[in-house]
Amino acid sequence: MWIYTCMFVATALAVWTDAQDCSMNVCNARGITRTCYDRIDPPLNELSYVCECLEDIDSHYMGPECNVIGDHQNLYSCYGIDCATGSFQSINWPDTYPPRHSAGYVCYIPGAKSITLIFDPLFHVEEPKDELYIGPGVEYSVANFRGVSQPGVIWFYDGQAVPESLTIKTDSFWMYFGTDKNLEYSGWKVTWSAG
């Protein structure tokens, strides 16, 4: 009985929490309703809400409304305060990632001021053909994929040197991992925590 009571409370809390999201849900890209999160004090020129892009239905999309076509075949995402800590990793990590693959990752943590990412020591991305990029916000621009870092805008990683920890000073970040036709390695894993 106690367990059922807890489940009921948890369900009620989840409904209540959803009710605290956008007063009007405008997240309906391609006719599918998604969770809408308020974005208090959004960055300059960005919307005051963020829609939760879902892995199943938004595998090729990204952006605050899940209507921007990305360069990725798969999308992995984490939205909400439960994502104050979490991790992303390349497919199959620590086993080898697949060839000819691209994946996008998005994390949005309402109210976060910064997010610190720490890399697992097992890191190997084929240099210079496979590419890992990280940046602030919920969508990337392939025009910035030039194989170099611009701190604050985009970070680029490959090779076998374990990257240093990284702090992104906003409430969200994206990642992009693309591989070419051959030579696959272990890839990468990052664990993050919000500040």
In the beta sheet, which residues pair with residue 18?
none
CA geometry: angle 72, 119, 36, nearest 5 deg = 50
Residue 194 near residue 91 (C-beta atoms within 8 A):
no
- Of 106, 23, 127, nearest in space to 61 by CA: 106
The pattern of x and - marking residues 117 through 156 that bind Ca ion according to CB under 5 A reads ---------x--xx--------------------------
180 binds Ca ion (CB under 5 A): yes
CB of 22 to Ca ion, least distance (A): 41
Amino acid code (one letter) for 12: A
For residue 97, the minimal CB distance to Ca ion (Å) is 8
Nearer to Ca ion, 89 or 170 (CB): 89
CB of 102 to Ca ion, least distance (A): 12
Tokens 């990642």 -> residue:
175
Q: Which of residues 41-70 bind Ca ion (CB under 5 A)?
A: none
**Cα–chain center distance at 152:** 16
Closest residue to Ca ion, based on beta-carbon distance: 126
Kindly list the residues in this chain that would bind Ca ion in the complex (CB under 5 A): 126, 129-130, 179-180, 183
